[in-house]
Amino acid sequence: MRRTSIAFAVLLVAFPAFLPGRAGAESSLWVSPTCTGGSAISLRISFLDDPAHPSALPPEWVGYDIYRRTFPNCGEWIGVRVNEEVLLRPPQGIHELTYVDTPANPGTHQYSVVFVDAERHPILLPSCYFCELGFGYHGALGYASCPAGQFPATIGRLEDWGWALYVQGCRDAGCWPSAYFSDEKWEAELRPYAGTDTVIRFYGSLECCSVEGTVMQIDRWEFAACGPTPTARSSWGQVKAIYR
């Protein structure tokens, strides 16, 4: 677990296209982890702000901390911090950072990138759209399964949303993430199992996040089983955060 590189580039993007119909100053944070070979995962961290109506960013915001949670895992939902030092944010309202993580174990990883102050306390950016992670953490999520194709994106039961199918992640020793998909091919193939006790293991990728939550792109699937339900009690807030 070490930082191997940090890079910065100004993003030449038409910011309003990301946030159609939003009034006033708005910003957003996007995290895109990519397997880069071996055990290395490259995280592209993109902060976007409307250059025509820049947000009033908090002066105490100095940068980012990165947390990793590797499934199966029913421990602390946000995971462990992987960066030794704060990733300092550039002064520009629109910026991009790249961080390379080398997890000790392969698998499916959830990354939480959190806004922090100089003392590494999580802080809120009021202008940031969809930047509520829960439990006082604010930032964005990203997922990576590495090596690609060798580990499930999630395991769970299906619910029929009509326009999409939703995977309710197993609440067992894995506490797998929940996600939805709306690909016609996979919907037609998997809809007969929706609303049943059938458990399915999905391989593919998870992308975060739309209004409805995490989106899954499926490569393949197979039947599976959930393990025993954990005996430890969770608050309703914890349950919502796990399945957002």
- The 3-class secondary structure across 6-51, one letter per residue, is EEEECCCCCHHHCCCCCCCCCEEEEEEEEECCCCCEEEEEEEEECC
Rounded CA-CA distance 212/158 in Å is: 15
Residue 228's pLDDT is: 60
Per-residue pLDDT for 95 more than 90? Answer: yes
Q: What secondary structure, in 3-state letters, does the chain show?
A: CCCCCEEEECCCCCHHHCCCCCCCCCEEEEEEEEECCCCCEEEEEEEEECCCCCCCCCCCCCEEEEEEEEECCCCCCCCEECCCCCEECCCCCCEEEEEEECCCCCEEEEEEEEEECCCCCECCCCCECCCEEECCEEEEEEEEEECCCCCCCEEEEEEECCCCEEEEECCCCCCCCCEEECCHHHHHHHHHHCCCCCEEEEEEEEEEEECCEEEEEEEEEEEECCCCCCCCCCCHHHHHHHCC
pLDDT tens per residue, range 191-210: 999 999 999 999 999 988 77
pLDDT tens per residue, range 116-139: 999 999 999 999 988 989 889 999
Per-residue pLDDT for 15 more than 60? Answer: no
Per-residue pLDDT for 222 more than 80? Answer: yes
pLDDT tens per residue, range 138-149: 999 999 998 888
Per-residue pLDDT for 21 more than 90? Answer: no
Domains of the chain: 6-146 (2.60.40.10), 154-242 (2.40.50)
What phi and psi, each to the nearest 5 degrees, are found at residue 184?
-60, -40
Strand 80-81 and strand 63-71: the pairing is antiparallel
Contact 191, 160 (CB under 8 A): yes
Per-residue pLDDT for 24 more than 80? Answer: no
Per-residue pLDDT for 13 more than 80? Answer: no
pLDDT tens per residue, range 40-82: 899 999 999 998 889 999 999 999 999 999 988 777 789 999 9
Residue 179's pLDDT is: 93
